[in-house]
């Protein structure tokens, strides 16, 4: 009985951490914060997608997206995609910080169409 409970708890934990994927869309805006910015402790950057820019942004790093930071190379790839007007599908997990939900970027796929 106890082993079954542990399996159920682990299954629930894994299902809540599984990343979701957006449909491919253009990047509307990209924000990168530096350590001197007041908001840097909360998040290190964000991307807004054309498809849902009024509703969501996809953040990385900081207290709002702990453990979900992007490498410099990934940030450069996002900027290049924005500049070249390529389509991007982002992988994200939902995080909660001080009662508010955030979408935290965990990866992305770039395509020409």
Whether the pLDDT of residue 80 is over 70: the answer is yes
| 58 assigned to some structural domain | yes
| 42 assigned to some structural domain | yes
Q: What is the mean pLDDT of the chain?
A: 88
- Closest by CA to 31, choosing from 55, 52, 48, is 48
Find all residues with CB under 8 Å of 21, minimum gap 6, and list them.
89, 90, 91, 92
pLDDT tens across 43-59, in order? 999 999 999 999 999 99
What is the reported pTM? Answer: 0.82
Number of domains in the chain: 1
**pLDDT above 90 coverage of the chain, percent:** 83
Element holding 49 (H helix, E strand): strand 45-49
| 101 assigned to some structural domain | yes
Range of the domain at 104: 21-111
CB 76 within 8 A of CB 32: no
List 46's β-bridge partners, or say none. Answer: 31, 59
- Closest by CA to 70, choosing from 31, 112, 20, 113, is 31
Quick check: helix, strand or coil at residue 16? helix
| 12 assigned to some structural domain | no
- Which tops the pLDDT comparison, 21 or 13? 21
| 16 assigned to some structural domain | no
| 5 assigned to some structural domain | no
| 15 assigned to some structural domain | no
Q: Supply the CATH number for residue 91's domain.
A: 2.40.50
Q: What is the pLDDT of residue 2?
A: 45
Quick check: helix, strand or coil at residue 38? helix
| 10 assigned to some structural domain | no
Query: Using 50, 70 and 90 to split pLDDT, how confident is the model at 113?
Result: confident
């Amino acid at each position: 009985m106890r082993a079954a409970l542990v399996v159920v708890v682990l299954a629930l934990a894994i299902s809540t951490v599984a990343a979701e994927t957006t449909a491919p869309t253009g990047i509307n805006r990209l924000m990168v914060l530096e350590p001197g910015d007041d908001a840097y402790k909360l998040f290190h950057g964000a991307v807004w997608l054309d498809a849902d820019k009024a509703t969501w942004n996809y953040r990385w790093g900081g207290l709002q997206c702990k453990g979900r930071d992007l490498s410099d190379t990934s940030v450069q790839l996002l900027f290049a995609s924005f500049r070249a007007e390529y389509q991007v599908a982002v992988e994200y997990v939902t995080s909660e910080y001080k009662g508010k939900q955030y979408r935290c970027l965990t990866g992305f796929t770039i395509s020409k169409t």
